[in-house]
Amino acid sequence: QVQLQESGPGLVKPSETLSLTCTVSDYSISSDYYWGWIRQTPGKGLEWIASTYRSEITFYNPSLKSRLSMSVDTSKNQFSLNLGPVTAADTAIYHCARRRMSGSVFDYWGPGILVTVSS
């Protein structure tokens, strides 16, 4: 059973960079799947952020692309997200998830981490 767990600061100041890590257990992130991030807010619902395949191919949400980067650390079986500079609109629950190669559906999700952007 694939398990994903998000980690990172729960509070980020406006104009700073939000950095999150997803640790994957019981499955190698070097296998044939994409790994991605989705965020959730009461106002905008679920919003796909980005997906990456071994750092070789990365897709970013066009509306966020200029502020985004993703990376993969296969030695730690982790992947990470950097988003910045942030504003209050980036306050959300951030989920990491596994995405299938054929068809961009997310079949395993982490429980999510609440990140608040506030001074």
Partner 1 sequence: DIQMTQSPSTLSASVGDRVTITCRASRSLGVWLAWYQQRPGKAPELLIYDASILEAGVPSRFSGSGSGTEFTLTISSLQPDDFATYYCQQYSDYSTFGQGTRVEIK
Q: Give the strand pairing for 11-12 and 113-117.
A: parallel
Binding to partner 1 (CB under 8 A) within 6-65 occurs at 45-48, 59, 61-63
In degrees and rounded to multiples of 5, residue 89 shows phi and psi of -65, -15
- With binding defined as CB under 8 A, does residue 106 bind partner 1? yes
The residues facing 21 across adjacent strands are: 7, 80
Distance CA 3, CA 6 (A): 10
Residue closer to partner 1, measured from CB, 55 or 63? 63
Beta carbons within 8 Å of 63's beta carbon, 6+ residues apart: none
Q: Binding mask 84-103 vs partner 1 (x if CB under 8 A, - otherwise)? A: -----------x-x--x--x
Q: How far is the CB of 51 from partner 1 (least distance, A)?
A: 8
Binding site for partner 1 (CB under 8 A): 45-48, 59, 61-63, 95, 97, 100, 103-107, 109-112
